[in-house]
A = this chain, B = another copy of it.
Amino acid sequence: MLEKEVHIEIINTGTELLLGNTQNTHGGWFGRELFRLGLRVARQITVPDGDAIEHALLESIHRSDVVIVTGGLGPTSDDLTREATAKVLGLELIEDEAAMRSIEEFFAKRNKVMAASNSKQAQAPVGADVLPNGNGTAPGVYVPPRLNALRPCAVFLLPGPPRELYPMFYQEVEPRLRALAGVNADRDMIELKFTGVGESDFHQGIDAQLAAIDGLEYGYCARISEVDLRLIGGKNATEQGKKIALSSFSRFLVSENGDSLEATVVKLLQEKKFTLALAESCTGGMISSRITDVPGSSAVFTHGWVTYTNEAKIDMLGVKADSLATHGAVSEQVAQQMAEGALRVSGGDLAASVTGIAGPSGGTPDKPVGTAWLAVARKNLPTISEKIFQPRDRNGFKKGASQAVLDLIRRVITEQM
């Protein structure tokens, strides 16, 4: 494939990235977006604001077919990406009228006065394409290979802030990269998100079958209790890959469109017109917080409790003091009573609960740190419960346990228990 041989380098400028005040997320983001197009990042370089960009750019151009620079397009004296590029390529900088108008409009719309320094943002090397920025004052720049006197290497200059960079990449950069790299326009990507199953299960279960599909590239991305499978290639190849993945793992499928597990749960609740209540102990509110990260969740999520203490479990959810004494707070009985109490008080359709030991202290030989009981109580139907064991650090355990509860709710709603 031609596209695999395209050498692309990414240069990120910004002193704050090297001081560590701001996490550089651009490297990874470009990696994922270019992988989607069948392309790879050959090298990623971070340099401070100022002169360093000039040297880095010259070096990268000599190794690359495409160089993408982010940052340094602002109005201050430290923002030198435009100037450095013009100098390295031996091109004059001139003011672009359309860009100037668009910057003036940006300020006018916000009833702000444009500073004189902003006018330098409308400059671009002679003959380059000026890439409109719908979300900020810095337009991007595209220097096509034919303008590059050093080597036939394309150069993109893009703004640093993600909310300006991402839309500009999709609208202006991606089509040009497809044309440059000969990326097949019918190239398709499917991203399947799974939970409750590990990456190694995929390796053992379907790697060999996926590898046998002609023209399919695939990759995994694993997080706590979550695996994404990315399938890239022609429409036929990706659909074939998806069929294989689902034939083995459909019961673990969260979404086919990148939706988070919490977004999937909210959507399922909306579709079924179910309401949800949550009774959390060891997750301490994290499940509620994840659910309420989803716009529209207020219509389906009605009641939440965080009952860290035995007294709270008794007072708020009607858990029996007897059960706590006999079986302990981390037990199937208590998890069930928490969920059933939450269902009763909320008067809704579903209520989920979790009680466990997050650590670092509180574990026993019988119930070590990482143990949790989950339950889902349902209107007019028996309560479902499950035990998990996920020994991790405190925050990792909260994430894993909240993932398990959301997944149990998903499986209860879709009747895949």
Q: Does A388 contact B (CB under 8 A)?
A: no
Query: In the assembled complex, which residues on chain B have CB atoms less than 8 Å from the CB atom of A187?
Result: none
Is the CB–CB distance between B59 and A59 below 8 Å? yes
Chain B residue with the shortest CB-CB distance to A277: B312
Query: In the assembled complex, which residues on chain B have CB atoms less than 8 Å from the CB atom of A315?
Result: 303, 345
A residues 32-53 near B (Cβ < 8 Å) are: 32-33, 35, 40-48, 52
Query: In the assembled complex, which residues on chain B have CB atoms less than 8 Å from the CB atom of A86?
Result: none
A residues 242-284 near B (Cβ < 8 Å) are: 278, 280, 283-284
Q: State how many angstroms separate the Cβ of A312 from the closest Cβ of chain B.
A: 5
Is the CB–CB distance between A31 and B52 below 8 Å? no
Is the CB–CB distance between B284 and A288 below 8 Å? yes
Query: In the assembled complex, which residues on chain B have CB atoms less than 8 Å from the CB atom of A56?
Result: 43
Is the CB–CB distance between B48 and A42 below 8 Å? yes
Tell me how many residues of A have a C-beta within 8 Å of chain B: 70
Stretch at the interface among A15-23, A74-82, A376-384: A15-23
Is the CB–CB distance between B289 and A303 below 8 Å? no
Query: In the assembled complex, which residues on chain B have CB atoms less than 8 Å from the CB atom of A17?
Result: 27-28, 31, 44
Is the CB–CB distance between A312 and B308 below 8 Å? no
Is the CB–CB distance between B305 and A305 below 8 Å? yes
Chain B residue with the shortest CB-CB distance to A163: B393
Chain B residue with the shortest CB-CB distance to A402: B289
Query: In the assembled complex, which residues on chain B have CB atoms less than 8 Å from the CB atom of A24?
Result: 24, 27-28, 44
Given contacts A20-B27, A27-B18, A59-B59, contact A311 B302 (CB under 8 A): yes
Q: Does A363 contact B (CB under 8 A)?
A: no
Is the CB–CB distance between A43 and B44 below 8 Å? no
Given contacts A43-B45, A44-B46, A46-B27, contact A398 B289 (CB under 8 A): yes
Q: State how many angstroms separate the Cβ of A282 from the closest Cβ of chain B.
A: 8
Q: State how many angstroms separate the Cβ of A106 from the closest Cβ of chain B.
A: 19
Given contacts A18-B41, A19-B219, contact A308 B304 (CB under 8 A): yes
Binary interface encoding of chain A residues 297-324 relative to chain B, with 1 for a CB under 8 A from any of its CBs, else 0: 1100111111111011001100000000
A306→B362 CA distance, assembly (Å)? 26
Q: State how many angstroms separate the Cβ of A297 from the closest Cβ of chain B.
A: 8
Given contacts A18-B44, A43-B56, A45-B43, contact A285 B295 (CB under 8 A): no
A408→B353 CA distance, assembly (Å)? 30
Q: Does A89 contact B (CB under 8 A)?
A: no
Chain B residue with the shortest CB-CB distance to A8: B18
A25→B46 CA distance, assembly (Å)? 13
Chain B residue with the shortest CB-CB distance to A278: B306
Q: What is the interface of chain A, defined by CB distance below 8 A to chain B?
A: 17-25, 27-33, 35, 40-48, 52, 56, 59, 219-221, 278, 280, 283-289, 291-293, 295, 297-298, 301-309, 311-312, 315-316, 345-346, 358-362, 394-395, 398
Query: Would you list the 3 A-B pairs with minimal beta carbon distance, nearest first?
Result: A284-B292, A304-B306, A285-B288
Given contacts A43-B56, A285-B304, A305-B305, 16 further A-B pairs with CB under 8 A are A17-B31, A18-B40, A20-B31, A24-B44, A40-B48, A42-B52, A43-B46, A284-B289, A285-B286, A285-B291, A288-B306, A293-B395, A295-B360, A301-B306, A303-B312, A312-B346
